[in-house]
Amino acid sequence: MPRAFDAYNTLSDAECQDRVRAARARLGRDAVLLCHHYQRADIYQHADLTGDSLKLSRLAAQTDSPHIVFCGVHFMAEVADMLSRSSQTAILPDLAAGCSMADMANLARVERCWRELGEVLAVETEVTPVTYINSAADLKAFCGAHGGIVCTSSNAETIARRAFCARPKILFFPDQHLGRWTGSRMGLPLDEMAVWDPDLPLGGLAPESIRKAKILLWKGHCSVHQMFRKSHIDAFRARHPDGLVIAHPECAFEVCAAADHVGSTEFIVKTVKEAAAGTRWLVGTELNLVERLAREVAPQGKTVQFMSSVVCMCSTMQRIDPQHLAWTLENLADGQVVNPIRVPEHEAALARQALDRMLAIS
Ligand code: 13P
Ligand code: SF4
């Protein structure tokens, strides 16, 4: 019988850290810890491998450890499960660690959207469904089944360009902001990107708007990145005319357009770390990443400032705490797997098609 979580709820963080270290020593190479850049510091310190969504997908496919303990959110653990071998097990220390953006699209709504689009367009030849990796496995399977593809924040433009070679339009879900920024990077005017509202018949669009649109943008967003505003950038530039601004493409279009650099979490970390000593940065992405980066580059005289004046953390990613990690690893060291993430094979096979198309071209 696995140990119950209840007994861990009352443990102090310090005690959990000791128990995590002891369990890891017992496990050795039997478990690998993958951590997304947004993980809290008390979890991140235990990571074997870190990265953005694309890098972690590749690392999950490459590791030969039998247990992949994923300190991230649910869709990332699903990807690790689908890209690793069937003898390996992906584990998410807290099943409640989801992604609120991923939840903004679900299969029933996307299928309805596809049907409704089919009343106006020849969808199977005119529209490529492109799902951001921040989506459930069944939506990746939908893309696999309909000639579509997955993208991440670091390869969205490459993927969209390839999609346009195959079909003249893209249905992009669930993040309208990444879709819009990607389209604008390709030179598409904003009026050729129409927002599809899944709560309204025909997405709230007139048939002629659908025919005109090159990209149909699902009405979804990230609750963390929507907090950043162009006014934050304006205030920073007024105070620090030499300062540099870097933002994640999940931010609103106006924020991305006003930034000096836009890119994935891995890109943000790399760009600021490689920047000249003494530079000052305003960073528009999740707070744990920004605070860690600020600490790491301070010795080179670099200043890193968070874009918002209010705390913007990924509250779901935060759920992976020392208590859940200790519980997961101690059970694993006892030979008990808790919280395995297993995508049903019929779904995984289709989703893998969409993931493999992405990995082959990015
Ligand atoms: P990355 O692709 O940069 O890891 O972003 C994932 C994510 O969820 C950002 O909110
Ligand atoms: Fe999802 Fe936003 Fe958290 Fe990224 S920051 S995992 S998009 S809720």
For 25-68, the pLDDT digits (tens) are 999 999 999 999 999 999 999 999 999 999 999 999 999 999 99
Question: So what's the pLDDT on residue 143?
Answer: 98
Cβ 17 vs Cβ 25: under 8 Å: no
| CB neighbours of residue 18 within 10 Å | 13
SS3 of the chain: helix, strand, coil, percent, to 5: 50, 15, 35
Average pLDDT over residues 63-89: 97
Q: Residue 250 Cα, ligand 2 centroid: separation in angstroms? A: 9
Average pLDDT over residues 81-89: 97
pLDDT at 312 over 90: no
The Cα–Cα gap between 21 and 26 comes to 9
For ligand 2, pick from 78, 92, 134 the residue to mutate: most ligand atoms within 8 Å of CB: 134
Query: Closest residue (by CA) to atom 1 of ligand 2?
Result: 99
Q: Outline which parts of the chain fall under CATH 3.40.50.10800.
A: 6-97+316-343, 102-222, 225-306
The Cα–Cα gap between 198 and 205 comes to 11
Question: So what's the pLDDT on residue 28?
Answer: 97
pTM of the model: 0.97
Query: What is the DSSP secondary-structure string of 138-195?
Result: HHHHHHHHTT-EEE-TTTHHHHHHHHHHH-SEEEEES-HHHHHHHHHHTT--GGGEEE
The Cα–Cα gap between 193 and 205 comes to 12
Residue 167 half-sphere exposure, CB side, CA atoms within 13 Å? Answer: 21
**183-216 pLDDT tens trace:** 999 999 999 999 999 999 999 999 999 999 999 9
The Cα–Cα gap between 263 and 251 comes to 10
Instruction: Give the pairing of strands 67-71 and 31-36.
Output: parallel
CATH of 225-306, one of 3.40.50.620, 3.40.190.10, 3.40.50.2300, 3.40.50.10800: 3.40.50.10800
Average pLDDT over residues 259-264: 98
Question: Token pair of 150, please?
Answer: 């997955």
**218-250 pLDDT tens trace:** 999 999 999 999 999 999 999 999 999 999 999
Residue at 22: amino acid letter:
A
Q: Can you say whether the dihedral through the CA atoms of 306, 308, 311, 313 is positive or negative?
A: negative
Average pLDDT over residues 106-130: 98
**CATH superfamily label, 102-222:** NadA-like (3.40.50.10800)
CATH class of the domain at 6-97+316-343: alpha beta
For ligand 1, pick from 73, 134, 159, 288 the residue to mutate: most ligand atoms within 8 Å of CB: 134
Q: What 3-state class would DSSP assign to 49?
A: strand
Question: So what's the pLDDT on residue 311?
Answer: 83
Question: So what's the pLDDT on residue 270?
Answer: 98
Find tokens 């997405």 and name the residue: 203
Q: Where are the beta strands (DSSP E) in the chain?
A: 31-36, 49-51, 67-71, 89-91, 127-132, 149-151, 169-173, 193-196, 215-218, 244-247, 261-262, 280-284, 303-306, 340-341
The Cα–Cα gap between 35 and 49 comes to 6
For ligand 2, pick from 100, 132, 248 the residue to mutate: most ligand atoms within 8 Å of CB: 100
Residue at 15: amino acid letter:
E
Q: Residue 51 Cα, ligand 1 centroid: separation in angstroms? A: 9
The Cα–Cα gap between 329 and 43 comes to 12
Question: So what's the pLDDT on residue 209?
Answer: 98
Average pLDDT over residues 164-168: 98
C-alpha pair distances (Å), 132 with each of 22, 104, 119, 154, 343? 37, 12, 25, 11, 18
pLDDT at 362 over 90: no
Q: What is the percent of the chain where pLDDT is above 70?
A: 100
Residue 142 pLDDT class (50, 70, 90 cuts): very high
Question: So what's the pLDDT on residue 251?
Answer: 98
Question: Token pair of 95, please?
Answer: 């099943």
Size of the chain in residues:
362
Instruction: Outline where 64-130 has alpha helix (H).
Output: 74-83, 107-117, 123-126
